């Protein structure tokens, strides 16, 4: 039986006589990852250097009259928004995972839908519903002659902003905690029940502690979103940092001070991320046990059934249904005047730039996540940190960083391009959508990366190693083994990024090209021109596309979920 020939590697061994570490460390994955990371860092670095400039004459003014206000406003909204999204998101996630009640299947995915509503759209919609000319007051006035206390119906203040942000951002917490709980072994929770703990006690004593990393992860996302929100705060007249950055940069024409403010935000963000890391400690999101039995939801009885359905309905109603219906009503009022063939153009523009940017983000995320997984070292740790960088920088600052970067590139490549074609102009990339797409990639890479990294985390390294030992290279292994297995994570990442870009405002406003409108810019423009009814159709299109995406996401997740349960039996 000694006929076994050694494997085909004779000639490879011969041409391997180089320093082995260079050989093992330089491959397509490492080189591409490096290039991408450098491209991401360069513009940000460029703008960070401005922090070294001396403070401008405006800085003392900002410090004396404004900074405290900015900090208090931002901190208040972040604290309350974070707390409320945490409470709502976590409680809903537990309710949906552990119990059955009327419509619980429907709420399982529809409670994600408020994610489709851009905060500024929710802001002007609620203001439109509640204010003096809105449907509620009009009804009361004309039918019952009740004239309400206006200050009770005023939403344009801190409380209102917290209300709106809670309603449209809690899905981040809900989604992450829900998928975390779905992956938890039922043993833990059932043990608690067997030991005589009530569902309530189980929730507080077992569920909350074990899902802390997921909750903190979700709330961090919420906080980052709040810190970056511009449209809503600007409309409500609340001076948060994002508003202040625009005000100093544009109002006072003081880019340096604006960047200084942005740096303060970034320090806050880094502190939050650090806190999250500390709280997570050594716990991992991924599970290592191969024996996972998912939690079986138990049927609620009596009044609890109704209360559970009611609670979910209220949140779904306020977060999605009510604003959507109001927008539909406004759209009906204005579609004759507004809706024309140009809307197809806006729709196409939105879908086009969003799709391109999302595909690029997903590809880059896969590239870096796979590389970081294969080579676990300091360098790849830094890489993964950098992917999230853009998510913590205010959109306006990314916009200017990217613009400066591209104008530099254009100036430096002008001679070369001239040599190739006489018709080439000095500004080439910086007058194209490449710039906008590049900015989107920097801004939202973190979202896509997180999703795809967690996909890799979930499958672990075992399959990869098995494939390598069966003779497949890293790249072949990736296409044959990793890619099919992380497909659900890729789809989730794609959809989350897509929705975020579709809603995006500051980057699109600043970096778009001639005659270029997206649904988001169009909606904001009308709202900003105080033509709120006219803003309804664009807003609705954003909401519908995102909602359809969320529906697909849910199908994908529940399918993927089922499959994984099988696999791990």
* Min CB(1)–other proteins separation in Å: 3
Based on the shown chain and the rule CB under 8 A, indicate whether residue 16 belongs to the binding site for other proteins. Answer: yes
Q: Which of 71, 404, 409, 552 binds other proteins (CB under 8 A)?
A: 404
Q: How far apart are CA 338 and CA 351, in angstroms?
A: 20
Residue 335 in tokens: 């579609």
388 versus 403: smaller Cβ distance to other proteins: 403
Q: How many CA atoms lie within 13 A of 440 on its CB side?
A: 31
Return the residue matching tokens 């995915």: 109
Subset of 230-249 contacting other proteins (CB under 8 A): 234-237, 239, 243, 246-247, 249
Stretch that binds other proteins, among 175-183, 228-236, 380-388, 448-456 (CB under 8 A): 228-236
Q: How far apart are CA 170 and CA 219, in angstroms?
A: 8
Going from the C-alpha of 119 to that of each of 126, 177, 501, 516, 539, the distances in angstroms are 10, 22, 13, 23, 11
* Min CB(335)–other proteins separation in Å: 10
87 versus 465: smaller Cβ distance to other proteins: 465
Burial group, residue 522, by CB count within 10 angstroms (0-12, 13-18, 19+) = buried
Please measure the distance between the N-terminal and C-terminal CA atoms of the chain and give it in whole angstroms.
Answer: 37
Please name the residues in contact with 148: beta carbons below 8 A apart, sequence gap of 6 or more: 137, 140
Q: How far apart are CA 283 and CA 281, in angstroms?
A: 6
* Min CB(68)–other proteins separation in Å: 11
Q: Using an 8 Å Cβ cutoff, are 561 and 140 in contact?
A: no
13 versus 420: smaller Cβ distance to other proteins: 13
Task: Determine which helix (DSSP H) or strand (DSSP E) holds 100, and give its type and residue range.
Answer: strand 99-100
Based on the shown chain and the rule CB under 8 A, indicate whether residue 468 belongs to the binding site for other proteins. Answer: yes
Subset of 507-566 contacting other proteins (CB under 8 A): 509-510, 512-517, 521, 525, 528-531, 533, 563, 566
116 versus 491: smaller Cβ distance to other proteins: 491
* Min CB(410)–other proteins separation in Å: 8
* Min CB(461)–other proteins separation in Å: 9
Subset of 197-226 contacting other proteins (CB under 8 A): none
Q: Which of 1, 52, 152, 416 binds other proteins (CB under 8 A)?
A: 1
121 versus 176: smaller Cβ distance to other proteins: 121
Q: How far apart are CA 204 and CA 215, in angstroms?
A: 13
Q: Which of 30, 33, 58, 242 binds other proteins (CB under 8 A)?
A: 58
In which region does residue 145 sit, left (phi positive, over 0), alpha (psi from -120 to 50) or beta (all else)? left
Based on the shown chain and the rule CB under 8 A, indicate whether residue 286 belongs to the binding site for other proteins. Answer: no
307 versus 470: smaller Cβ distance to other proteins: 470
Based on the shown chain and the rule CB under 8 A, indicate whether residue 419 belongs to the binding site for other proteins. Answer: no
Tally the residues of the chain: 569
Going from the C-alpha of 470 to that of each of 15, 463, 477, 481, the distances in angstroms are 22, 11, 10, 12
Based on the shown chain and the rule CB under 8 A, indicate whether residue 46 belongs to the binding site for other proteins. Answer: no
**Whose CA is closest to 112, among 182, 168, 180, 179?**
168
* Min CB(261)–other proteins separation in Å: 14
Based on the shown chain and the rule CB under 8 A, indicate whether residue 400 belongs to the binding site for other proteins. Answer: yes
Q: Are strands 298-299 and 99-100 parallel, antiparallel or unpaired?
A: parallel
Contact mark string toward other proteins, 342..381, x via CB under 8 A: ----------xx-xx--xx---------------xx----
109 versus 346: smaller Cβ distance to other proteins: 346
Q: How far apart are CA 35 and CA 263, in angstroms?
A: 25
Subset of 250-269 contacting other proteins (CB under 8 A): 250-253
Q: How far apart are CA 353 and CA 508, in angstroms?
A: 10
Based on the shown chain and the rule CB under 8 A, indicate whether residue 13 belongs to the binding site for other proteins. Answer: yes
Task: Determine which helix (DSSP H) or strand (DSSP E) holds 88, and give its type and residue range.
Answer: helix 67-98
Q: How many CA atoms lie within 13 A of 387 on its CB side?
A: 27
Based on the shown chain and the rule CB under 8 A, indicate whether residue 157 belongs to the binding site for other proteins. Answer: yes
Based on the shown chain and the rule CB under 8 A, indicate whether residue 20 belongs to the binding site for other proteins. Answer: yes
180 versus 330: smaller Cβ distance to other proteins: 330
Burial group, residue 329, by CB count within 10 angstroms (0-12, 13-18, 19+) = middle
178 versus 533: smaller Cβ distance to other proteins: 533
Q: Which of 7, 299, 341, 419 binds other proteins (CB under 8 A)?
A: 7
Subset of 424-463 contacting other proteins (CB under 8 A): 424-428, 430-434, 437, 462-463
């Amino acid at each position: 039986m000694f006929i076994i020939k050694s494997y085909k590697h004779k000639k490879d061994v011969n041409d391997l006589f180089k320093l082995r570490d260079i050989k093992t460390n330089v491959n397509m994955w490492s080189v591409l990852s490096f290039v991408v990371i450098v491209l991401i860092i360069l513009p940000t670095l460029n703008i960070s250097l401005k922090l070294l400039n001396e403070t401008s004459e405006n800085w003392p003014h900002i410090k004396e009259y404004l900074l405290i206000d900015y900090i208090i406003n931002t901190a208040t909204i972040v604290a309350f928004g974070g707390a409320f999204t945490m409470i709502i998101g976590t409680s809903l996630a537990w309710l949906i995972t552990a119990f059955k009640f009327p419509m619980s299947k429907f709420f399982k995915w529809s409670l994600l839908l408020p994610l489709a509503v851009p905060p500024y759209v929710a802001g002007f919609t609620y203001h439109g519903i509640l204010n003096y000319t809105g449907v509620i007051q009009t009804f009361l006035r004309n039918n019952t002659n009740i004239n309400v206390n206006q200050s009770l119906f005023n939403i344009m203040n801190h409380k209102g902003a917290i209300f709106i942000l809670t309603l449209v951002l809690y899905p981040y917490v809900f989604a992450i905690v829900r998928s975390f709980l779905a992956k938890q072994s039922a043993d833990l929770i059932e043990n608690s029940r067997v030991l005589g703990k009530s569902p309530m006690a189980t929730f507080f004593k077992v569920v909350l502690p074990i899902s802390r990393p997921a909750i903190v992860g979700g709330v961090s996302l919420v906080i980052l979103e709040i810190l970056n929100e511009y449209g809503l705060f600007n409309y409500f007249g609340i001076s948060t940092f994002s508003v202040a950055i625009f005000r100093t940069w544009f109002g006072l024409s003081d880019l340096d001070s604006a960047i200084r403010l942005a740096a303060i935000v970034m320090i806050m963000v880094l502190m939050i991320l650090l806190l999250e890391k500390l709280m997570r400690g050594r716990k991992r999101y991924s599970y290592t046990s191969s024996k996972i039995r998912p939690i079986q939801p138990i049927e609620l009885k009596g009044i609890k059934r109704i209360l559970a359905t009611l609670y979910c309905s209220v949140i779904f109603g306020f977060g999605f249904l009510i604003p959507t219906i109001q927008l539909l009503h406004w759209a009906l009022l204005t579609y004759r005047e507004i809706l024309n063939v140009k809307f197809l153009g806006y729709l196409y523009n939105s879908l086009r730039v969003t799709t391109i940017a999302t595909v690029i983000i997903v590809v880059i995320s896969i590239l870096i996540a796979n590389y970081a997984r294969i080579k676990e070292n300091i360098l790849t740790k830094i890489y993964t940190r950098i992917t999230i960088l853009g998510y913590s920088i205010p959109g306006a600052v990314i916009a200017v960083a990217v613009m400066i970067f591209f104008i530099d590139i254009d100036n430096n490549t002008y001679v070369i391009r001239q040599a190739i074609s006489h018709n080439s102009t000095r500004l080439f990339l910086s007058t194209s959508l490449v710039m906008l797409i590049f900015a989107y990639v920097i801004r939202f890479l973190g979202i896509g990366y997180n999703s795809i990294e967690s996909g890799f985390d979930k499958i672990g390294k075992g399959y990869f190693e098995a494939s390598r030992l069966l003779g497949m290279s890293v790249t072949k292994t990736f296409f044959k083994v990793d890619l099919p297995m992380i497909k659900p994570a890729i789809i989730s990442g794609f959809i989350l990024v897509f929705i975020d870009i579709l809603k995006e405002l500051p980057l699109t406003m600043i970096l778009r090209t001639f005659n270029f409108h997206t649904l988001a810019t169009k909606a904001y423009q009308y709202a900003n021109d105080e033509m709120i009814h006219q803003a309804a159709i664009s807003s609705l299109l954003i909401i519908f596309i995102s909602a359809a995406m969320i529906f697909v996401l849910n199908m994908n997740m529940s399918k993927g979920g089922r499959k994984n349960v099988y696999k791990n039996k």
